[in-house]
Amino acid sequence: MSAEQGVVIAANGINKIFNPGTDEEVIALQDINLDVRGGEFISLVGPSGCGKSTLMRLVGDLLQPTSGDLLVNGKSPQDARLDRDYGMVFQAATLYDWRSVTKNVQLPLEVMGYAKAERQKRAGEMLEMVELEAFAEHYPWQLSGGMQQRVSIARALAFDPSILLMDEPFGALDEFTRERMNLELLRIWEQTGKTVVFVTHSISEAIFLSNRIVVMSPRPGRITKIVRNDLPYPRDFKTRSDPAYHNLVSEVRELLRDAVGSGAPGSVQAPSRPHEE
C-alpha cells in the first residue's frame, strides 16, 4: 500500500443547496465531514441524487459550497485549482475530436505553457503508461470507448497533479472492459501515488479499488458511513473471490438499502422525508 501522508482534502460541515429560497430548492449535501489522506484511494458510492458527484465537484472547484469549510492541500479549492492540483476524468472521455491522441494528452501542457520537447516527452510517457503508445497519431473516433477513457486518464495525469478526481469514469463501459480498466487504474495509482477521489454507483467497483468507501444516501445527500477496506494491494482478479471482499460488498449493499428506505427499486425516485438514524 502506498505510504499515507497528511490530510490533503479536509471537509468540515459542508452544505450545498441548489436554488436556495425558491420552489426548486434542493439540499444536495448536508453536513459533510470527510478527511482524505495523501495517496489514498477513496470512493464515493450511493444511489443517484445522493450528492456524490456534487461533493467531487465541490472539491474540484467546479461548484462552490453554500456553507462549511473545505480545504485542499491546505488551500481553498479555487487556489488548488489555480495551482493545477487537480486532474479530472469524467464519464464521457471529453477528448477534443480535432486533436490526435498525443495532442489530446498534450492539451493541459500546452495550456500550462510547457515547452514542446517536454510536452512530447511527457505525452509519450503517459501513453506508455496507459499502453496506447501505438495509437499516438490516431484520432479519438478511431478508438474504442475504453481506449478513449485511457487517453482521458493519461491527459489528466500529464501535468502531474497531486489529486485525481474521477466522476464515474467507467460508467459507460461494458462489464469486461470496466474490470480491465479497474486493474489498470490500480496499477497506475500504485505507480504514481496520487490521491484519488472516485465517484461510482457500482458497489463492487468501489470496494475493489478503494482504501475507503464513502457510502452516501439521498434527500438530503449525507454520508451514511465510511467503510474501510484493508484488503492488501496489489489487488487482482483473485481479490474478487476473497471472502473478505464479499463481506464488504454485503456490508455496503446493506448500508445502501437502509439509506434508500425499503429497498424497493421504485423508492429511489419517490420523494420522501429524510429520516434520522
Partner 1 sequence: MALVNEKGPSLAQRVNRRLRYYSPTIAVALGVIILWEVIVLLFNIQQFLLPKPSAIFSEFMLQVNLWLRPGESSILFEAAGATFWEAFGGFVIGCGSGVLMALITSRWTIISEATMPFAIAANSVPIIAFAPIMNNWFGITNPASKMAIVAIIVFFPTMINTVRGLTLVDAGQLELMHSYAAKPARIMFSLRIPNALPFIFSALRVASALSLIGAVVAEFFGGPRATLGVYITQEAGAFDFAKAWTAILMASLIGIGFYLAVLVLERRLMPWHASFREVG
Contacts with partner 1 by CB under 8 A lie at 60-62, 81-82, 84, 86-88, 90, 92, 94, 96-99, 107-108, 110-112, 138-139, 141-144, 147, 159
Shortest gap between Cβ of 213 and partner 1 (angstroms)?
A: 25
Shortest gap between Cβ of 177 and partner 1 (angstroms)?
A: 11
Shortest gap between Cβ of 224 and partner 1 (angstroms)?
A: 28
Question: Is the Cβ of residue 60 or residue 220 nearer to partner 1 in the bound state?
Answer: 60
Query: Furthest-apart CA pair in the chain: how many Å?
Result: 58
Indicate the residue type of 277. Answer: E
Question: Is the Cβ of residue 1 or residue 111 nearer to partner 1 in the bound state?
Answer: 111
Which residue's C-alpha cell is 462489464? 175
Shortest gap between Cβ of 104 and partner 1 (angstroms)?
A: 10
Shortest gap between Cβ of 137 and partner 1 (angstroms)?
A: 11
Half-sphere exposure of 107 (CA within 13 A, CB side): 17
With b for 16 or more beta-carbon neighbours within 10 A and e for fewer, the 33-64 pattern comes to ebbbbbbbbbbbbbbebbbbbbbbbbbbbbbe
Question: Is the Cβ of residue 108 or residue 220 nearer to partner 1 in the bound state?
Answer: 108
Question: Is the Cβ of residue 28 or residue 252 nearer to partner 1 in the bound state?
Answer: 28
Question: Is the Cβ of residue 2 or residue 76 nearer to partner 1 in the bound state?
Answer: 76
Strand pairing category for 67-72 and 7-18: antiparallel
